[in-house]
Amino acid sequence: MVKVWWWRRCFPFAFILTAFIGGAYGGNVTYDGRSLIIDGEHRILFSGSIHYPRSTPQMWPNLIAKAKEGGLDVIQTYVFWNLHEPQQGQYNFRGRRNIVRFIKEIQAQGLYVTLRIGPYIESECTYGGLPIWLHDIPGIVFRSDNEQFKFHMQRFATKIVNVMKSANLYVSQGGPIILSQIENEYGNVEGAFHEKGLSYIRWAAQMAVGLQTGVPWVMCKQDNAPDPVINTCNGMQCGTTFKGPNSPNKPSLWTENWTSFYQVFGGVPYIRSAEDIAYNVALFIAKRGSYVNYYMYHGGTNFDRIASAFVTTSYYDEAPLDEYGLVRQPKWGHLKELHAAIKSCSKSLLYGTQTSFSLGSRQNAYVFKSNSTECAAFLENNEDRTVTVQLQNISYQLPPKSISILPDCKNVAFNTAKVRTQNDRSMKSYLRFNSAEKWKVYKEAIPSFDDTSLRANTLLDQISTAKDTSDYMWYTFRFNDNSPNAQSILSAYSQGHVLHTFINGNLVGSAHGSHRNASFVMENKLNLIKGMNNISFLSATVGLPNSGAYLEHKVAGLSRVKVQGQDITNQAWGYQVGLLGEKLQIYTASGSSKVQWERFQSSTKPLTWYKTTFDAPEGNDPIVLNLESMGKGYTWINGQGIGRYWVSFQTPRGTPSQKWYHIPRSLLKSTGNLLVLLEEETGNPLEITLDTVYITSQ
């Protein structure tokens, strides 16, 4: 077992684990080469990622209860720096950001917590979870041995640890937090920073341990994690790909077992089977793994504008608990059975001696014996055909690509390929918004150069200029054309993500990039009027980039413009950040009165705001908006952003990446709910429906 004196000897900061008398969690957490040790007891732990900002506080109790019922011991969450400190020095821990309330709810239900402070988290969160104001710190280099970044990283990490300590949330204080994480998958970028990468990771470990949380720290995908920090695995096959702990004194932990994969606009969902997840978990445990976290166990919703570039509003809907918190079978039930089977032989697994041997060309046995009577076995078939193997003179039939678990080395309690549970999810239409009289519209103004106050004789980077206050930024200029009979060619080079071109107030073209390649070139043949023409580009980001080295250097928006081959990049440009409707907050009840809304007409135009009201459905079934008839835009309910939609960017199969958008019931009143949509392109709001979601068993 790793003891406090060993940590002190290996590290300049004392890693103090204090005892707490009383309460459900009082005690300490240590580790050795086999597992985490909680209150002196070795533990095999199953964990699930649930991110508090991706659901509502009203949803948290039910999500945690279903996770516990599914056999989980731990809830794992990131800490979202950009949400907690949106402006430097101004903190927000209210509503969906109330992390203390979230952790206390976990504690109330008897589960532990792994707190991934980061504070860089990636997590398909805009800017990797870093607040945009970091971008403007002079001389800063993100995630490097850079004094400016380290100062702010340490300041925020200290803030979060102190918030946790003040609420007595570490297990040494009687709380549920048993594990913390610093940094996130830094091994992916460390090489780009050369010697400053290694020195930074050493500093990060030293800084974290120095915060004296009383619990161990981990670094995921960081093979060289400095002692006493534990290096952990992320991926889908950590039983095969993980090189293992970098010290014999550290346990084998799996911090991200991807239950599916995040989805992007224009992409098809990645479906990972329950059988494949179970197989790889069983293999990891068979190879002496002791902690498995499902990323995600509940993905939830990317509310507001928190999704990173091109990521859909729905997040990990294929997880064991879907976007709305409903049980998704067979994953939830199959994994529950897996957890029960493994826990039934945990004593043999943790204290027994492991032997492994071949049962065939691609068949293996992993046997754990703790004494003459305690025995557990995992029988693996890594072939795509059914095989029969023998263990202790007993024959066992193993389905293709499966592992059988024998808690007593005799009887099969579980096989990873044998699924017993199924269900189906359906949507039922509750309300059709098909009455034109109930819709009102407001047409967003198209600014010209003369309407702008921000000017520059070059093209400005959208990220640096807009500072993530809006997805939108206008680039405007004037062009004097003396040859009206000839068509002009306008070439616009964008570094992401979407571009709409307006000539004298009229839309003449649109284009966009993709998750794989955000940059693109848009060319239009233009019929200009004789004399002065106003050309306005509306550039839109769909979330900010969230990964890679030197994130602070990433850019978006226009980078070059040509008219008839003439480069006009370095001429006078006028800029407007955001839309007028955003500035006036016309998506709120109070802001809505600041503009003149008009009656709905049969024809729709780009950049149009729509509003209507509706009553909430009775009951408790989740509620969604079906926006299949719309194009691209954003939706608010009672002034709360429920995320971006982009139905027109279809998959290669010709279907939307996402057409249902979650409305948490806690955002609704019984009557008179305000629905506002900003439609960038064109769409038909008369075909929008309000649906309820329900599960049918099979």
* CA–CA distances in Å: residue 14 to residues 33, 208, 504, 531: 20, 11, 67, 74
Total count of residues recorded for the chain: 698
Instruction: Give the span between the Cα atoms of 638 and 676, in whole angstroms.
Output: 8
State the amino acid at position 313 in one-letter form: T
Q: Is residue 105 annotated as part of the catalytic site, yes or no?
A: no
Decide if 661 contacts 624 (C-beta within 8 A): yes
CB 113 within 8 A of CB 77: yes
Following DSSP, what letter does each residue of 544-556 receive, concatenated?
----SS-GGG---
Q: How does DSSP assign 510-541, residue by residue?
A: EEE--SS---EEEEEEE-PPSEEEEEEEEEE-
Question: What secondary structure letter does DSSP report for 498?
Answer: E
Choosing from 105, 185, 337, 680, which is the catalytic residue?
A: 185
**Inter-residue contact 367 to 376 (CB < 8 Å):** yes
Active-site residue identified among 122, 183, 190, 256: 256
Backbone angles phi, psi at 553, to 5 degrees: -95, -5
Among 384, 383, 407, 406, CA closest to 395: 406
CB-based burial label for 271 (10 Å; 0-12, 13-18, 19+): exposed
Pairing of β 440-443 and β 608-614: antiparallel
Residue type, 197: G
Measuring CA to CA, which residue among 663, 651, 43, 80 is closest to residue 314?
A: 663
- Residue carrying structure tokens 């081959």: 565
Q: Are strands 440-443 and 598-599 parallel, antiparallel or unpaired?
A: antiparallel
The DSSP annotation for 72-95 comes to --EEEEE--HHHH-SBTTB---SG
| Structure tokens belonging to residue 578 | 């955001």
Omega prior to 207 cis, within 30 of 0: no
Looking at beta carbons, which pairs linking 133-142 to residues 24 or more positions away fall under 8 Å?
A: 133/87, 133/88, 133/467, 134/552, 135/463, 135/464, 135/467, 135/552, 136/464, 136/467, 140/552, 141/196, 141/550, 141/552, 142/550, 142/551, 142/552
Q: What sign does the dihedral 337-340-344-348 (CA atoms) show? A: positive
Residue 183 a catalytic site member:
no
Question: Do 226 and 201 meet the contact criterion of CB atoms below 8 Å apart?
Answer: yes
Q: What secondary structure does DSSP assign to 251-264, as a single string?
A: -EEEEEEESS---B
The Cα 347–Cα 375 span in angstroms is 9
The two three-digit tokens of residue 107, written as one number: 């504690």
The H or E element spanning position 99 is helix 99-108
- Compute how many other C-beta atoms are within 10 angstroms of the C-beta atom of residue 385: 10
> Residue 377: CB partners within 8 Å, gap ≥ 6?
365, 366, 367, 368, 391, 405, 406, 409
Distance (Å) of CA 162 to CA 77, 131, 649: 17, 20, 44
- Bond before 152 cis per omega within 30 degrees: no
Provide the annotated active-site residues: 185, 256
